[in-house]
Amino acid sequence: MSQGKIWIVGAGPGASDLLTIRALRALESADVILTDALITDDVRSLFPEKSIVIEVGKRSGDGINPMERQQNIHNQMIMYHSLGHQVVRLKSGDPMVYGRGVEEIRFLLESDVEFELIPGISAGMAAANEYWVPLTERGKSSGIHFHSAIKVGGEKSDLDGIIREIENNDTVVIYMGLERLSEMAFELNQRLSKETNINVISKVSYTDSDILSGNTKFFSKIDQSDLPASPAVIILGNHTKVPGKITSRRMDKKSLKSHVRKLLAQPFLNLF
Amino acid sequence: MSQGKIWIVGAGPGASDLLTIRALRALESADVILTDALITDDVRSLFPEKSIVIEVGKRSGDGINPMERQQNIHNQMIMYHSLGHQVVRLKSGDPMVYGRGVEEIRFLLESDVEFELIPGISAGMAAANEYWVPLTERGKSSGIHFHSAIKVGGEKSDLDGIIREIENNDTVVIYMGLERLSEMAFELNQRLSKETNINVISKVSYTDSDILSGNTKFFSKIDQSDLPASPAVIILGNHTKVPGKITSRRMDKKSLKSHVRKLLAQPFLNLF
């Protein structure tokens, strides 16, 4: 019916150079790009001039039913594909992490068209790299747990799981959790055996990205309006303290120089 | 002391075009590349010809103590940096996910040198995208849990956590777990309230990548030698079944054509 292909592409957290090379190539060959609202101007600057760009993301107050929106995305994908176009469905982050990628896969399989997924850097990983937030550390923390927005009131089980994960010294990464953060921190402060560290990383990889770190007590008292801007990812756990402020243990310039001099005195080759 | 910079770079799962654009740029400007053993030939083909490439990864049977190996990596980073070189420390996957990135950050902070981390696509995400393994799905599964190699015997608590996560319909991703897979599947088969789905994805994004899917019962009986090759990532959970084999619900060619005809009859513009 057509020679086109559909790519479901992860755009990563926002910076255009955090797309994969494969994602960039798919974009460059796209005739039609169906794009989420969260896709940044920086990423949009990579869109080919000739491409048709269609906004299919949720816009605040647009009143569209989520199922209907998803069905419309499916319809648009298949319509442009049937016209022989190369179609890119561009999603922020990674298509399989809170991205409804599976719904689109199921639809495309039913439609029997050729498609391919391209992974993207997920915000939690990008945040950890940008702000040196430990996710795992040998001998300290070996589990990483991703959760979407926490429903503290309705579904206590979510918070029970998070509490177990923190008490186990694992790392917890929460997406879309900004609105309930104070409430969650308040509950954690009451129920955890000790205060735990919380990092809120806002607009990861954007030029105005920001981090706010503190413990459960700090965040349980903070005014919601003082929190960094959305979109944000929350990373918490007993071993998630950003090591940037360890100045006391810092090697002084003199001993560093002497250390390097010693190394340079060794035969200049692979030590392994 | 020098104008060089140290980049700690995630190389992703193996395919060279799954590096980020930022990672590629760092590599292209590298004078010295300290590379892990798992870095594929495909990724190595991106190394600039002029660069000094130093293998610092673990080689089976090299007998080097892990602490000593890590210290040697730190020494090499700082030595080449002090000579004014651009140094790339290349790690497979993402530097912060089971990659000892935090240890290197701590060392570099103490040494007071300029450095930057660049995230990479982690194997679990890449596997999900390559083989359409659901990680999250609306209304079905909202948590993703990363674990490193499971110590079924020594530390039962690991498996208790995994069992809770599966019973909660969440998705579990296990790195470096191939050796204990049959043993783990056997225990899960005994202790879970129902059989759960297991996917073993080997050599994600390599040209000879492979997936083996089955349930806990299947994997509890499998001979270790019949498992796909290492490196592999294991994705399990009640909603992790790969939707590729849903043929019964597939729209037939005729109804698809009629569906598309209907869509094309609509005004040809953004429906949103």
Average pLDDT over residues A140-163: 78
The alpha carbon dihedral of B185, B188, B189, B195 has a sign of negative
Q: Which of B58, B140, B151, B156 is catalytic?
A: B58
Q: Give the catalytic positions of A in this structure.
A: 36, 58
Q: Which helix (H) or strand (E) holds B27?
A: helix B21-28
- A245: contact with B, CB 8 A cutoff: no
Write out the two tokens for A76.
Answer: 């648009």
Q: Which of A13-27, A60-74, B258-272 has the lowest mean pLDDT?
A: B258-272
The one-character DSSP state at A37 is: T
Strand order from edge to edge, sheet including B87-91:
B52-55, B32-35, B87-91, B6-10, B115-118
So what's the pLDDT on residue B269?
46
Average pLDDT over residues A93-99: 94
Work out the percent of chain A whose per-residue pLDDT is above 90.
69
- Distance CA(B215)–CA(B232), nearest Å, equals 17
The one-character DSSP state at B252 is: P
Q: Is the pLDDT of residue A166 over 70?
A: yes
Are B145 and A148 inside 8 Å of each other by CB?
A: no
pLDDT digits (tens, 9 = 90+) for B180-227: 899 999 999 999 999 999 999 999 999 999 999 999 999 999 988 899
Q: Name residues whose C-beta falls within 8 Å of residue B269's C-beta, 6 or more positions apart in sequence.
A: none
CA atoms within 13 Å, Cβ hemisphere of A208 = 5
Average pLDDT over residues A227-232: 94
Dihedral-angle region of residue A237 (phi above 0 means left; psi in -120 to 50 means alpha; beta otherwise): left
Q: Is the pLDDT of residue A247 over 70?
A: no
> Min CA distance, A142 vs chain B (Å)?
6
The one-character DSSP state at B225 is: G
- B37: contact with A, CB 8 A cutoff: no
Q: Is the pLDDT of residue B130 over 70?
A: yes
Average pLDDT over residues B53-75: 84
> Min CA distance, B113 vs chain A (Å)?
10
Are B125 and A119 inside 8 Å of each other by CB?
A: yes
So what's the pLDDT on residue A151?
58
So what's the pLDDT on residue A66?
80
Average pLDDT over residues B161-172: 95
Average pLDDT over residues A83-97: 96
The residue assigned the tokens 């079924």 is B152
Mean pLDDT of chain B: 88
Beta bridge partners of B173: B146, B235
Average pLDDT over residues A22-38: 96
Name chain B contacts of A17, Cβ cutoff 8 Å. 20-22, 25
Could you tell me if A34 and A70 are in contact, meaning their C-beta atoms sit under 8 angstroms apart?
no
- Distance CA(A15)–CA(A126), nearest Å, equals 10
Q: Which of A6, A16, A20, A91 to mutate to test the interface with B (most CBs of B within 10 A)?
A: A20
Backbone angles phi, psi at B199, to 5 degrees: -120, 130
- A161: contact with B, CB 8 A cutoff: yes
So what's the pLDDT on residue A158?
77
> Min CA distance, A146 vs chain B (Å)?
5
Q: Name residues whose C-beta falls within 8 Å of residue B227's C-beta, 6 or more positions apart in sequence.
A: B178, B181, B200, B202, B212
Average pLDDT over residues A25-50: 96
Cis? peptide before A231, omega within 30° of 0: yes
Q: Which of A40-54, A175-189, A247-261, B100-114 has the lowest mean pLDDT?
A: A247-261
**Count of helix runs (H) and strand runs (E) in chain A:** 9, 10
So what's the pLDDT on residue B16?
97
- Distance CA(A203)–CA(A170), nearest Å, equals 24
So what's the pLDDT on residue B117?
97
Could you tell me if A172 and A162 are in contact, meaning their C-beta atoms sit under 8 angstroms apart?
yes
- A255: contact with B, CB 8 A cutoff: no
Write out the two tokens for A233.
Answer: 């990812």
Q: Which of A16-20, A257-261, B15-19 has the lowest mean pLDDT?
A: A257-261
Q: Is the pLDDT of residue A269 over 50?
A: no
Q: Is the pLDDT of residue B154 over 50?
A: no
So what's the pLDDT on residue A150?
61
Domains of chain A: 6-121 (3.40.1010.10), 124-245 (3.30.950.10)
Average pLDDT over residues B139-161: 76
Q: Which of A156-160, A171-175, A179-183 has the lowest mean pLDDT?
A: A156-160
- A103: contact with B, CB 8 A cutoff: yes
DSSP string, B140-202: TB-EEEEE-S--TTT-HHHHHHHHHHHHTT-EEEEES-GGGHHHHHHHHHHHSSS--EEEEEE
